[in-house]
Amino acid sequence: MVAAPSPGKDIFSLSTPDPALWTLYVIRAVLTGPGLIFLLPYLYFRYHTLRYTFDEEGIHMRVGILFRREVNLTYARIQDIHLRSGVIQRWLGLADIQIQTASGSADAELVIEGFKEYEAIRDFLYTRMRGYHAPVKTAPAPAMSADPNAEMISLLRTIRDELRQTRESLGKLPPADHV
């Protein structure tokens, strides 16, 4: 079971992928055989430049040195979220969080990879995409007076006075002609 950080605060502090992602990249590169020579340097720079930022408005991802890719995605644009993990990813405790938007593309708009807190991130994104915001704690309102019934009595007196004024106003109207 993956330990989930508390919603909000800990998710905002996530920015760099877990070292297990580098292990996954090395295993993938080794499994390519001769492609290791070309794939390993690419994955090395990808791992060391991959950065995520979670803020109040959305998710921001940056990756690359020569060919930099940046994706800024607001929570309101998120349509669907998928978790995908292969055998090696599950063994390392990782999963890819694929975020879909209404862009018309069949592929995910953004893939968050390299975090062991993937379930907590998914739950956080679901709450944000639905517009949920944690309630703000406020200090209790100070008491109006020492008597707990004083506010209710004041309200009842105001209602009584308004009813008297309404009755007096109705009494001053001329009688209506009945046809």
What's the pLDDT tens digit per position in 66-119?
A: 889 999 999 988 989 999 999 999 999 999 999 998 877 778 889 999 999 999
pLDDT at site 141: 52
Crossing angle (nearest 10°) for helices 36-49 and 19-31: 170
pLDDT at site 3: 46
SS3 content of the chain, % helix, strand, coil (to 5): 45, 20, 35
**Per-residue pLDDT band at 10 (split at 50, 70, 90):** confident
- In angstroms, the CA 72 to CA 101 distance is 12
Structure tokens at 173: 């109207």
The secondary element (H helix, E strand) that includes residue 101 is strand 95-101
Angle at 15 between CA 13 and CA 16, to 5 degrees: 135
What number of other Cβ atoms are within 10 A of residue 24's Cβ?
22
114-144, pLDDT tens digit by residue? 999 999 999 999 988 877 555 545 555 555 5
Average the pLDDT over 44-62 and give the result.
Answer: 94
Average the pLDDT over 139-160 and give the result.
Answer: 72
**Per-residue pLDDT band at 59 (split at 50, 70, 90):** very high
Higher pLDDT, 44 or 140: 44
Residue 94 near residue 20 (C-beta atoms within 8 A):
yes
DSSP letter at 67 equals S
pLDDT at site 153: 85
pLDDT at site 2: 44
